[in-house]
Amino acid sequence: MLDAFQSLPKDKATLTIYGNRNAWNEVYYDRLKQQASGFSVYFRSSFRRNHLAEALSDQDVVVLPSICYESFSFVIREANLLGLPVIASRIGAIPEAVEEGVNGFLFEPGNVEGMRSCMMRFIQEPRLVQQMAVSRAGVKSMEEHALELSDIYQKIVEKRR
């Protein structure tokens, strides 16, 4: 993400990274801070889930550069509930939550140029942030999602009988 961000035009965007330095990530954290030096990158500490809206209140877009096969992304759904579009990796179930051009953009996992291209869309077309916030589809809760899956499985079982 830093590589993609650093290749953007200067003074056109800022990047906020959330998380604390601790014994498990100190080398990685220090390397990120060093790489971010001289760019508009801000490091903020972790926050409690019930403070999510407050933590993201000054953000325009959420970036999820996942390389893992996620089965259900809370990050995307929470961002959408807050009216924030998402730039995310096209991996696992993430594409099920991001409708290209409606509530965000997708790129191939690990593809720095693809991520940069998505970021540039918001810089070149700043109105997209508001358009995507307004036009975002309803976000299913985990309970709604589970009920939907249960209905699908039930129909399959009934069909096989």
pLDDT tens for each residue of 81-93: 889 999 999 999 9
Residue 138: the pLDDT is 58
- pLDDT confidence bin for 70, thresholds 50/70/90: confident
* End-to-end alpha carbon distance in the chain: 49
pTM of the model: 0.81
Model confidence at 9, pLDDT cuts 50, 70, 90, reads: very high
pLDDT in tens, 113-157: 999 999 999 999 999 999 998 655 556 677 887 898 899 999 999
Q: What pLDDT does 134 receive?
A: 60
What residue ranges in the chain does DSSP mark as E strands?
Answer: 15-18, 41-44, 62-64, 86-89, 104-107
**Which CATH number does 2-160 carry?**
3.40.50.2000
Question: Does the pLDDT of residue 73 top 90, yes or no?
Answer: no
| pLDDT in the model for residue 139 | 61
* Percent of the chain surpassing pLDDT 70: 96
At residue 142, the pLDDT reads 74
